[in-house]
Amino acid sequence: MPDTETADGFEIVRREDFSDVTYLLAVRHPMMARAARPGQFVIVMSHPDGERIPLTIADFDAVEGTVTLVIQAVGKTTREMQQTCRAGDRLHALVGPMGVPTVLGHARKVVCVGGGLGVAPIYPQARGFRETGATVIGLLGFRTASLVFWEDRFRSVCNEVLLCTDDGSAGMKGFVSDGLTRLIDEHPDIDEVVAIGPPVMMKACAEVTRPHGIRTMVSLNPIMVDGTGMCGGCRVKLDNGVKFACVDGPDFDGHRVDFDDLTQRLHRFTEAEQSATARWSETCRLRAAQPGL
């Protein structure tokens, strides 16, 4: 099987749906599967006229030659991909791996925190820490039990797993920040916390660990265009200056990140995104009503 298939795109070999908005695409790309490391991301175009979107790598298998992406249908492009991307189809472009890999091998006991969709990209990090000999605790958070996925995967690579749901329908009732507080009480020898999820969740985790002086890394995914540091769209404000998530990250010290600035940047194009989604939805409706269009 060739390493690249740029003439025809990159084959989707498997699709799995976790909920009505969350889905998995496993894509054949042997070269990328060999090169990928925990914490890195790719830029995807589903078709020649599509938008370039950054997606964190949720898994990679050098033997199978596949890279796995877990996607949430929240905007025009991800909703379009949810409708059109099936096993056997091809992605027009898949560029990467990009970003600085997660630093492994220094922690003896680490907590890997995933909130919602963040559960997927934290998995390679949990596996990577375990492979270096660290004791790994997985802390997974979802709104409700019906949204839980990959719990079995984490149990296979973690020494301990704590599941939290907002409504208490599975595991511990509460947010991952509540679970993290409990784990710190139970494990005073935690060296590091790695958290991936919504900004408000990562900020909450950083505030839980701050009084204890526990190293806390977060993975940031601000607005990104080219992924090479040229456009400056993915600026991240830290207490010691400005960095670019695409080339300096995506991992940053959570105790140094200005999460208020990050949240404002993430909402800067909300109106434009809503408008694009509305236009796309209307086009889909017209095509359904008039198949000949």
Packing angle between helix 199-209 and helix 176-186, nearest 10 degrees?
20
Residue 269 or 65, more confident: 65
Q: What is the 3-state secondary structure (H, E, C) of 103-121?
A: CCCCCCEEEEEEEHHHHHH
Lowest mean pLDDT segment, chosen from 5-19, 46-60, 111-125, 173-187: 5-19
**Interval 67-88 mean pLDDT:** 89
Sign of the CA dihedral running 19, 181, 123, 115: positive
pLDDT digits (tens, 9 = 90+) for 8-46: 789 999 999 998 889 999 999 999 999 999 999 999 888
In the predicted structure, residue 4 carries a pLDDT above the cut 50: no
Peptide bond into 198 cis (omega under 30): no
pLDDT digits (tens, 9 = 90+) for 106-134: 889 999 999 988 899 999 999 999 999 99
**Burial code of 111-145, b = ≥16 C-beta within 10 A, e = fewer?**
bbbbbbbbbbbbbbbbbbbbeeebbbbbbbbbeee
pTM, rounded to two decimals = 0.83
- Burial (0-12, 13-18, 19+ Cβ within 10 Å), 61: middle
pLDDT at residue 223 in the model: 72
On whether the CB atoms of residues 54 and 224 are closer than 8 A, the answer is: yes
pLDDT at residue 3 in the model: 45
Mean pLDDT of the chain: 86
| Distance of alpha carbon 3 from alpha carbon 61, whole angstroms | 14
Closest CA to 9 of 50, 40, 37: 50
**Interval 192-211 mean pLDDT:** 93
On whether the CB atoms of residues 141 and 164 are closer than 8 A, the answer is: yes
| Distance of alpha carbon 172 from alpha carbon 153, whole angstroms | 19
Q: How confident is the model at residue 76 (pLDDT cuts 50, 70, 90)?
A: confident
Residue 259 or 214, more confident: 214
pLDDT at residue 5 in the model: 47
pLDDT at residue 283 in the model: 63
Q: How confident is the model at residue 267 (pLDDT cuts 50, 70, 90)?
A: low
**Interval 269-276 mean pLDDT:** 61
Return the structure tokens found at 24: 């998995």
Domains of the chain and CATH, by start:
10-98 (2.40.30.10), 109-219 (3.40.50.80)
In the predicted structure, residue 258 carries a pLDDT above the cut 70: yes
Lowest mean pLDDT segment, chosen from 93-97, 180-184, 204-208, 280-284: 280-284
Q: How confident is the model at residue 256 (pLDDT cuts 50, 70, 90)?
A: very high
* Chain centroid, CA 224 distance in Å: 14
On whether the CB atoms of residues 207 and 231 are closer than 8 A, the answer is: no
**Interval 100-111 mean pLDDT:** 90
pLDDT at residue 266 in the model: 67
pLDDT at residue 77 in the model: 86
In the predicted structure, residue 1 carries a pLDDT above the cut 70: no
| Distance of alpha carbon 169 from alpha carbon 142, whole angstroms | 10
| Distance of alpha carbon 159 from alpha carbon 157, whole angstroms | 7
| Distance of alpha carbon 13 from alpha carbon 28, whole angstroms | 6
Q: How confident is the model at residue 275 (pLDDT cuts 50, 70, 90)?
A: low
Lowest mean pLDDT segment, chosen from 76-85, 124-133, 157-166: 76-85
Paired strand residues for 97: none
**Burial code of 217-232, b = ≥16 C-beta within 10 A, e = fewer?**
bbbbbbebeebeeeee
